[in-house]
Amino acid sequence: MTTISLKLPDALEAQLNAEAKRRRTTKSAIVRDAVEQSLRKKKGFVTCADLAGNLVGSLRGPRDASTNKDYLKDFGLERRHRTR
């Protein structure tokens, strides 16, 4: 992976720091994602993640919730055992 450097205005750096903290990720990851999205849009290629970009990372929870079957082990049990 190639390293680049860039200059950001103080206000933009503050926004980047806050976003990295909110998403619990690195500033580099956010910048890479932004560059990739920008280049995809120029090509006319849009992914589902692009369309739902403001939703990605907006919820809290385990990072592997969508792939770890242990989270689904007891899913729905409460509903079946509810009394009406």
Task: Please give the pLDDT value at position 31.
Answer: 96
The single residue listed with the structure tokens 């907006």 is: 58
Token couple for 2: 């190639």
CB 23 within 8 A of CB 30: yes
Confidence of residue 79 (pLDDT cuts 50, 70, 90): low
d(CA 84, CA 63): 35
Would the pTM of this model clear 0.85, i.e. be above it? Answer: no
Name the band, by pLDDT with cuts 50, 70 and 90, for residue 54: confident
Residue predicted with more confidence, 16 or 64: 16
Q: Is the pLDDT of residue 3 over 70?
A: yes
Q: What is the chain's mean pLDDT, rounded?
A: 83
> pLDDT above 70 covers what percent of the chain?
88
